[in-house]
Structures are given as C-alpha cells and as structure tokens.
Amino acid sequence: MGARGRATLVRVLQAIPVIFGVIVISFILTRALPGDPAVQFAGAMATDESIQQVRETLGLDKPLPQQFVLYLSQLAQGDLGQSLSTGRPVLTDLASRLPASLELTLVALLLSCLVSVPLGVLAATRPGSWVDQLCRLLVTAGVSLPTFFTGVVLIYIFYYLLGIAPSPLGRLDFVYLDPPRVTGFFLIDSALAGDGETWFAALRQLILPACTLALFTLAPIARMTRAAMLSALSADYIRTARAAGLTRGKILYGYAFRNALLPVVTTLGMVFSFVLGANVLVEKVFAWPGIGSYAVEALVASDYAAVQGFVLSMALLFVLLNLVIDLAYSVIDPRFGTAAK
Amino acid sequence: MPTSRRQFLKTGAALTAAGILPFARALPAGAATGDTLVAVSAQTINSLDLHRSGTNRASYAVAVNCYDRLVTFGTKQVPGGGLSYDYSTIEPELAESWQISKDGLTITFKLKDALFQDGSPVTAEDVKWSFDRAVTVGGFPTVQMKAGGLVRPEQFEAVDAKTFVVRLDRPSKLSLPDLAVPVPFIINATLAKANATEADPWATEYLHKNTIGSGAFKVIRWDSGQQIVYERYDDWVGGPLPAIKRVIMREVPSAATQRALIERGDVQVAFDIPDKDAAELADKMTVYSTPIENCIHCLCMNTNFAPFTDPDVRKAVAYAVPYEAIFQAAAYGRGAPTWGGSAEITDTAWPRKSPYDTDLEKAKAHMAKSGYADGFETTLSISTDLASWMEPTALLVQEAVGKIGIKVTIEKIPGANWRTASLVEKRLPFHLENFGGWLNTPDYYFFWAYQKDHLFNSSNYFNEEVEALTDETLHMAVDDPAYAPKIQRMFEIVFEDLPRVPLWQPALNVAVNGASGYEFWFHRQLDIRSLAPAGA
C-alpha cells in the first residue's frame, strides 16, 4: 500500500470536519429558511392552539442549541428523524429514493460516456471533419435543451405518437411488482432474483429518462474529452513518441488518451454530483420517485428533518465520490500520493 | 405498507376467483379492464390516517374510501353533466337510522350490522372511540369536529352495542352534516387499541400505515411517493358494492405526462388536472369541471391598511377588475363566474354573482370621490404555490387598476410563508385568496372569511352587524323563516363593504377515459366507490 494507502486514509480523515460542517450548516440553514413548519403541518384550518400543539410535538418550541444537541444525539444513533411530509423515517425515504436516483443517473452517465468519449476522441483526432461538426452539434443541443423539454418531447414521440415506449409511470409499470429488495437498484435486484421479465420491464422504463439525462450530460463530457485530447496530442511526449516511430494506436490510446483521461474523470465526477441533485425536472416528467423531487418537496414544506437528511446524504455521497475519483487518479496517474501530502 | 412480494401475490390469487394473478406480468397497462382501474393524480398521499398531524389533503381520499362514517350525503345530477354529492340530503352509511330529539340536543344513531375488514362486528364502542380520537388528537380533525359542535369525549355515549348517542351543547344545522365529512370515520377500536402504546394511545403510528375500517376498500399496497392500491372489501354494507375490484392510484407530478397517459387510454381517470388541460381535453374525452361548492377565488383588500380603508377605493378596484379576461386567462373558462349579478338580492345562493362588473367609468368616478383621487402605489401579493391561477390574475389586475391610477407591484411569496403572511399575520394589504368551506352554507363561509380574526379573513374585515348575523345564522336551520332575510342582509353588507372581491368560483377538473360513475365531492378527493368501467 504505502504512499497510496496513506493518501487515501488522509482523504477519508479530511472528510470528517467537512461532514461535521455540513451538519451544522444544514441545521442552521433549514432553521433560517422562511416559513414555519408547525403552521405548515397544522393544516389549513388550524387554530393558534393546534399550531402550538404541533410545534410542541415537533420539539420546535425548544431553544435552537437544545434542538441541535437533540439532533446530534439522534444522528449518533443513526436516526435521521421523521419526515413530516411523507410521515416516514427520513432514513427509509432516502433508502428507497436514493437508489432510484442513482440507478437513473448511473445508467444515464454510462450511456452518455459511451457516446461522448469516443465522439470527443474522434473529434480531436479529426478536427474540422464531419465527426467534429457532429460533436459540436450534439454539445450545443445538449447544453441548450432543458431536460424537462427533452423529456416531454421524447414522451410525445416514443410514447404518445409511436407507442413503443412504456407508460412514463416511474420505475416499473404497475403490472409488475418491485423485485425483492437487495440493493434498491431494480436492474440489479431483478437480475439477482433471476427475473428476466421484470429486469426487461425496469430497463424499458429507464430508457427514456436515461436518454434525456444522457443528452444533457453529454455536452460537458464530450467537450472535455475533445479539449483534453487536443492538448495531449500537441504535447511534447506525443511528438517524441511519433518520432520514435510508435504505432498510431499506441500513441493515441497508450499515451494521449491516458493523459487526457484525468480531466475527463474530474468532469465526470462533477457532472455526476450535479446531475444527481439537478434531475428533479426529469423525475417530475417521468414520475420517477427520486431524491431530487423529494428534496424539493421537503424544502417547500419546511420539512427540516428531510432536508437535513438529504443534505447529509449528499455530502456523504460527494465525499465518497471524491474518494473514488482520487482512487481512479491513482490508477491512471502513477504519481498520485507521492507528491501531495 | 410493507407487503412482501410473495404474500401480495398470494392474497391476490386467493381473492381472484379464477386464480389469475391480478397483476399478471404480461398484462399491458392499457388492458386494465373491468377488474382494475388506474387513476393518476399529481398529489402525494402521505398517510393512511387522516387524524395524524401533518397528514395532507390528498390523504383524505383514504379516509373516504377505506372507512365509513355514520352518515353520508346523497347524490344529485349537476346541471353541466355528471354527478355530485348533495349537501341537502343526508343518507345512512354505517348508521341504519337516527333520531334527533325535540330540543335538537340529542342525536341517537342505530347502527347497521356491519363487519370490519378483519371480520369483527362494528359496535357503538368503536364509534365512540373513533369520535373521542377525532376530538382529542388536536390539529385539523379537532377543528373540523368543533365546527359541528363536537368538542368533548363526554358528548359521545355508546348506550349498547348498536346504539350510539351524540349530545350537543346547542342545536345546530351543522352537526349532522359534520358527521358526513371525512373526519369522523369509524375505526376498528379493538384492533387499534391492541396496537396502541403508552406514548401513542390513539395508535397513530399503526393507523398511519394500515387501514382498519369497515369501508368499501382497503389499501393493500402503499408505495410512498408512487402509488396506492385499493382493493374492494366485498362485505361492505355502507352502500352499493363498488363495480370495480381494484383501483390503482398512481402519482404523476407532470401535467404533460398525465395528459399523454389519459389520451393514450393507459389510465382511466386523471384527477384534478389543470384548467388548461381540462379545456383542451374536453373535445377528446369526458372532462368533468365541477364548480367547487362554497369556494371562491377572491381579490382581497386589507381594511387595516390605507388606502384600502377607504370604501371608495375598494369599489373603484371592484369596478376596474377585468373579470371576464381573468376568467378566460387564469381559469380557461372552467368554473363559474361570480360577477355581474343583479343589485337586488332575493335568495340565499352562495357563491353568487356580485353586483360588480368591469366598468372603468364607474371605477374612475369612485376613485375621484375617494381620498386618493391622484392614485397611489401598492403591492399585490401572490403565493408561488398557487401561481397557476394567481399569476395571470395578478398581471391582469395590475394592468387594469393601472388605468385608474393605482400603481401595483406584484410580490411573490414562497408557499411556506404564504399562509403565515396572509392568514395568520394578515399583513398583506392587497392580495389574492381562496377559501372553500366543506359545510355548504353561506353562514359557514362567513364564519371563516368575514368574521373578525377568523383564519380566512385575510382582509381584517370587521363589521358589527355581520358578526352578529353570522353568529345568529351559523346554527340556525335553513328553513327557519328568519334565516333567509338575515343571510341576504349579510350578502348586502359585504358586497357594499367589499373586503373580498369575488373573482370566480374555481372548478375541480377530472378527465375520464374508459370509466364512468365519477362523482364530485366537497372534499375534492377521488371517491372511488362510485366508479365503474365505461359503459357500465
């Protein structure tokens, strides 16, 4: 392990103050939000008395520091609190919704990488050709088409007009039952259960929303691949490699692409975290029970526990993601861990 | 509710006579025929227990469909087509019959021989426990019970297994109808108590996830944020057995997606769709747009804030509002107009047309007469949550009152603050508001919207005569000879004083493709008990 192992450990330790900071900030920010959850949840016809009752049940009549200590002690026991708007423990909500979002986002990213990375490489090796123009067109379209619009257009064409896509009713059509829960990822769970039919149904439901998201994420990845490849190809070591008479494939994939991958992986990480939080609109259009719409609804209703739980889980996810990206660096770039720290 | 896959399939198979799986895997969405009906709605159900604090409006549907009340309302034809509940007739649900004592203070109910869904008999003790729960848990259920004069557990008595008595502090016409609203639903008390804890004596945790009533349906599956699946309870005695065995209520937040689904016929009911979609779908399929009873969208002027303290300013605004344009732009003509009525009031219909109509000359005349002849600046507040109707309305109002010298800035208040700002603190000088009362009498509307300090009186309106008249009429029988003149007087006063300018009566829009029997209810939730396959 040595240097690499130590560097990884340092990364993990560095995450602890970050997460504590996130806990404090999310706690304060949710309280600073305008709106009074007691009023919100007492219902439209509530009287002052019933609002006060609700406030006491929620523990919101206590001073803030006391609320914070209570929150911390709950957290220490792994209890994220109870969401008021869904009436379930936040942990249960997150456990059912996070996999839905992750599955969608991962499939979309995979799809988008499969298209954008080769496209970026081709565009960089043949600048000005039709591939380069196609890349430019896709990048522009991806950036300029809002996801909810792409989603509705895809539904209109493939579901409404052609009738080849399944009803846009979330993760599974109602004639199917959720596969027995192992990971919460329907594709994995149904595969584990050996249920091909449900697997296929879940995949069919995934295609349209994943395409919508893929189109959106395609742009930054393709653009970054193209730019990174261009700069790598014009680097001195490529010239040396060419001069040394290495084969074109070896130069392109052995040296240029490997060096170009670093910024691409960084972009991928950024796109992933961004999309996970920002796919609310896709979730709404496809009735996808994901984490984005959960967070937005919780925010609108001043549902403190749910918002804090969401922020915390996202923070954890980001820390994890950064770690994974760092580890990916160490695979791509052997210098990792020796220079820094 | 946690149902394992195997268990679910097993119950399904047992219940279907031929043993065909209810959710036969290969069954396409569109093939949902006779047995199963699919409905979509943008709303999220967040609890199976209406009494729990934090339960939202959409969840009232569960109380309606899975539980019984003692009584229910009858059914009537709506003039525009379709069915509606009928506030004027009360029919038995769990009660077989009832008697009101001469002094109007005691109502004695005889219960039907009914069974809860777990097979145990429904007794008066269950009714008492359920009513006690409703008046004790606090929050909305307790407030709603109070409207019918039901406040303390001591008012309810289980005389014997089949006799239940309600004692009132004063006779009120609202008491019996208040027993037909979703709140006083009857719970299997024995089962609930078995699942109650010391900290939770009313078993709110258990009822949050389980339906334990005697109603027409039971919830066999609830995926929070996704769907709720109802299955018929075949021994229901509260009314005629529903024609449909299973109803799946799917949550689809996007109106565009809902529309694609209903147009393709993959779902049979799209519930509570936007006015725009209702107007456009109306040529393609059956769309019911029922004006919501006792509900009015209003433009409110806060009588605590100058210049709206000036009655001429309020009248000038009422004459300046472009009613027809707003009705077309914000409601796409769905609902009922509430402007341009006659000045003379001869009946007690409510909501009714106000005597105002768009008339710029009159508006200018009133403005000139007021203390603000040179005009003034003000802020018109709207809620971001209700932007679909408030935003176009606000823009049109802004443009119109600009013509009489009132310069309006539109302020959008986030949904979470709206209620506090408009209803609790009542600090918005000029704003849009909506109130709808479940109990359909004008005095009940006045109680909430025109009486001093009451919640929906966001205009801070106070008029001694209206206070007195509302108090007098609130519990008075509608056929009392004194009732109609008093109500008409109340109409006259508030149309003269104008703290709220009625804009229009909104509609509840429901698109139906391949189903029949839809009935409008005041609670604005889908009552699945009357639904049937198309052509049935």
Q: Is residue B282 part of a domain?
A: no
Domains and CATH numbers, chain A: 3-76 (no CATH), 96-300 (1.10.3720.10)
Which residues have CB under 8 Å from A306's CB, separation 6+? A81, A83, A84, A85, A86, A90, A93, A294, A295, A298
- Conformation bin of residue B104: beta by default, left when phi > 0, alpha when psi is -120 to 50: left
Task: Report the residue of chain B nearest A294, measured CA to CA.
Answer: B225
Using CB atoms, pick whichever of B144, B223, B229 lies closest to residue A45. B144
Evaluate if residue B21 carries a pLDDT over 80. Answer: no
State the Cα–Cα distance between residues B233 and B314, nearest whole angstrom.
Answer: 55
Which of A101, A152, A174, A302 is the best residue to mutate to test the B interface, defined by the most B CB atoms within 10 Å of its own CB? A174
Q: How far is B140 from chain A (nearest CA, A)?
A: 6
Inter-chain residue contact A39 with B420, CB threshold 8 Å: yes
3-class secondary-structure state, position A252: helix
CB contact under 8 A, B143 and A50: yes
Contact flag A174-B23 (C-beta cutoff 8 Å) = yes
Which parts of chain A register pLDDT below 70?
A: 1-4, 35, 42-47, 336-341
pLDDT value, residue B473: 93
Q: At what angle do helices A130-144 and A90-125 cross, to 10 degrees?
A: 150
Residue A231 CA: distances (Å) to CA of A133, A219, A224, A260, B67: 19, 18, 11, 8, 69
Question: Could you tell me which residues come within 8 angstroms of residue A22 by beta carbon, excluding any fewer than 6 positions away?
Answer: A311, A312, A315
Which pLDDT score is estimated for B4? 45
More confident residue, A153 or B139: A153
Domain that holds residue B261: 32-272+511-533
Q: How far apart are CA B348 and CA B367, in angstroms?
A: 31
Cα of A286 vs its chain's centroid, Å: 17
pLDDT of residue A3: 67
Assess contact for B431 and B458: CB atoms under 8 A.
Answer: yes
Structural contact between residues A269 and A332, judged by C-beta atoms closer than 8 angstroms: no
Residue B416 lies in a domain: yes
What residues of chain B lie within 8 A of the CB of A297, using their CB?
44
Name the strand (E) or helix (H) holding B368: helix B360-369
- Closest Cα of chain B to A215: distance in Å? 20
pLDDT tier for residue B159 given thresholds of 50, 70 and 90: very high
Task: Calculate the CA B486 to chain-centre distance.
Answer: 26
CB A107 within 8 A of CB A210: yes
Distance CA B332, CA B298 (A): 17
pLDDT tens, B271-317? 999 999 999 999 989 999 999 999 999 999 999 998 999 999 999 99
- Output the CA torsion sign for B27, A152, A185, B252: negative
Partner-chain contact B29 A167, CB within 8 Å: yes
Indicate whether B45 and B165 sit together in one domain.
yes
Please give the full DSSP string across A255-322, using - where no structure is assigned.
IIHHHHHHHHHHHHHHHHHHHHHHTHHHHHHTT---HHHHHHHHHHTT-HHHHHHHHHHHHHHHHHHH
Q: How far apart are CA B503 and CA B331, in angstroms?
A: 11
Q: Is B102 an 8 Å CB contact of chain A?
A: no
**Chain A residues near residue B25 by CB distance under 8 angstroms:** 175-176, 197-198
Residues with Cβ within 8 Å of residue B205, at least 6 apart in sequence: B195, B197
For chain A, positions 152-211, list CB contacts with chain B under 8 A: 152, 155-156, 159-160, 163, 166-171, 173-180, 197-198
The secondary structure element, H or E, covering residue B111 is: strand B106-111
The answer to whether the beta carbons of residues B401 and B338 sit under 8 Å apart is no
pLDDT in tens, B442-470: 999 999 999 998 889 999 999 999 999 99
B151 touches chain A (CB under 8 A): no
* CA B57 from centre of chain: 8
- Which residues does chain B have within 8 Å of residue A98's beta carbon, measured at their own beta carbons? none
Q: Which of B419, B423, B455 to mutate to test the interface with A (most CBs of A within 10 A)?
A: B419
CATH of the domain at B447: 3.10.105.10
Q: What are phi and psi of B47, to 5 degrees?
A: -165, 155
* CA B401 to chain CA mean position, Å: 32
A244 vs B: CB within 8 A: no
Q: Looking at the partner chain, which of B226, B256, B420 has a beta carbon nearest the beta carbon of A289?
A: B226
Whether residue A89 is preceded by a cis peptide bond, meaning omega within 30 degrees of 0, is: no
Q: Determine which of A184-188, B168-172, B312-316, B485-489 has the lowest per-residue pLDDT on average.
A: A184-188
pLDDT digits (tens, 9 = 90+) for A283-317: 888 989 888 888 888 887 778 888 888 888 888 88
Interface A–B counts its CB contacts (< 8 A) at: 163
Under an 8 A CB cutoff, do B139 and A54 touch?
yes
For residues B430 and B524, membership in a common domain is answered with: no
How far away is chain A from the Cα of B373, in angstroms, using its nearest Cα?
A: 37
C-beta separation of A289 from B226 below 8 A: yes
Query: Are A285 and B256 in contact (CB < 8 Å)?
Result: yes
Instruction: List the beta bridge partners of residue B217.
Output: B232
- Determine the residue of chain B that is closest to A180 in CA distance: B5
Mutate to test the interface with B, among A175, A284, A285, A310 (most CBs of B within 10 A): A175
pLDDT at B71: 96
| Phi, then psi, of B229 in degrees rounded to 5 | -115, 120
SS3 A96: helix
Question: How does B38-61 read in b/e, with b if 16+ C-beta sit within 10 Å?
Answer: bbbbbbbbbbbbbbbbbbbbbbbb
Is residue B266 located within the same domain as residue B352? Answer: no
> What confidence tens digit (pLDDT) does each residue in B212-271 have?
999 999 999 998 888 899 999 999 999 999 999 999 999 998 898 999 999 998 899 999
Number of domains in chain B: 2
Report the gap between the CA of A41 and the closest CA in chain B (Å). 4
- Is residue B208 within 8 angstroms of chain A, CB to CB? yes
> Which residues from A are below 8 Å from B267, CB to CB?
167
- Residue B281 domain-assigned (yes or no): no
Q: Is the dihedral of CA B443, B445, B448, B450 positive or negative?
A: negative
CA B8 – CA B196 distance, rounded (Å): 26
Instruction: Decide if A326 contacts A4 (C-beta within 8 A).
Output: no
Give contacts of B38 with chain A, Cβ < 8 Å: 174
Give yes or no: residues B486 and B524 share one domain. Answer: no
Query: How close B261 comes to chain A (CA, Å)?
Result: 7
Angle between helices B442-449 and B464-474 (to 10 degrees): 130
Which tokens is A327 given? Answer: 């580890």
* Measured torsion, CA atoms of residues B209, B215, B221, B227, in degrees rounded to the nearest 10: -100
Q: How many CA atoms, within 13 angstroms, populate the side-chain half-sphere of residue A122?
A: 14
Shared domain check, B334 and B227: no
User: CB distance from B143 to chain A under 8 Å?
Assistant: yes
Of A44, A152, A170, the CB nearest to B256: A152
Structure tokens belonging to residue A58: 């929620």
| A174–B52 CB contact, under 8 Å | no
Q: Same domain, yes or no, for B235 and B301? A: no
Residues B203 and B240 in one domain: yes
Percent of chain B whose pLDDT exceeds 90: 74
Looking at the predicted structure, is the pLDDT value of residue B415 above 80?
no
Q: What is the pLDDT of residue B26?
A: 38
Same domain, B321 and B250: no
Contact B29 A50 (CB under 8 A): no
pLDDT at site A44: 61
Q: Which of B8, B27, B55 sits opposite A175 (nearest CB)?
A: B27
A177·B208 Cβ contact <8 A = no
pLDDT given at position B20:
36
d(CA B5, CA B368): 73
pLDDT tens readout for residues B41-77: 998 898 999 998 778 889 999 999 999 999 999 999 8
Sheet of B519-520, strands arranged across: B71-77, B83-92, B519-520
Rounded average pLDDT over B360-377: 92
Tell me which residue of B460, B441, B438 sits closest to B449, measured CA to CA.
B460
Q: Which residues of B touch A173 (CB under 8 A)?
A: 28-29
B241 touches chain A (CB under 8 A): no
Number of neighbours of residue B535 by Cβ within 10 angstroms: 7
Q: Residue B220 falls within a domain, yes or no?
A: yes
Residues B426 and B455 both lie in one domain: yes
Q: Name every residue whose Cβ is closer than 8 Å to that of residue B133 and which is 6 or more positions away in sequence.
A: B51, B187, B202
Q: Tell if the CB–CB gap between B47 and A87 is shorter than 8 Å.
A: yes
Q: Which CATH number is B246's domain given?
A: 3.40.190.10
The span from the CA of B299 to the CA of B375, in Å, is: 19
Task: Give a yes or no: residue B18 inside a domain.
Answer: no
* Co-location of B313 and B403 in the same domain: yes
Q: Is B29 on the interface with A (CB under 8 A)?
A: yes
Amino acid at B315: K
Residue A61 C-alpha, separation from nearest chain B C-alpha, in angstroms: 16
Task: Confirm whether B23 is domain-assigned.
Answer: no
DSSP B251-284: E---HHHHHHHHHHTSSSEEES--HHHHHHHTTT
| Structure-token pair, residue B521 | 């209810």
Name the residue in chain A with its Cα closest to that of B139: A50
Interchain contact B44–A (C-beta under 8 A): yes
Question: Do residues B239 and B184 both lie within one domain?
Answer: yes
Q: Which residue of A has its CA nearest to B226?
A: A289
Quick one: pLDDT at residue B125? 95
Q: Give the nearest partner residue to A57 out of B53, B55, B417, using CB atoms.
A: B53
Q: How much is the pLDDT for A1?
A: 53
Query: For residue B412, is it within any domain?
Result: yes
| Rounded alpha-carbon distances, angstroms, from residue A230 to A122, A124, A235, A329, B90 | 10, 5, 9, 20, 79
Q: Specify the pLDDT at position A273.
A: 80
Residue pointed to by tokens 């709140």: B183
How does residue B1 score in pLDDT terms, banded at 50, 70 and 90?
A: very low
Residues of A in contact with B47 (CB under 8 A): 87
Check if the beta carbon of residue B224 is closer than 8 Å to that of residue A86: yes
CB–CB contact A285 B257 (8 Å):
yes
Is B285 contained in some domain? no
Contact B416 A36 (CB under 8 A): yes
CA distance A167 to chain B (A): 7
- Same-domain status, B36 and B134: yes
Residues of A within 8 A of B263 (CB-CB) are: 160
The alpha-carbon radius of gyration of chain B (Å, integer) is 24
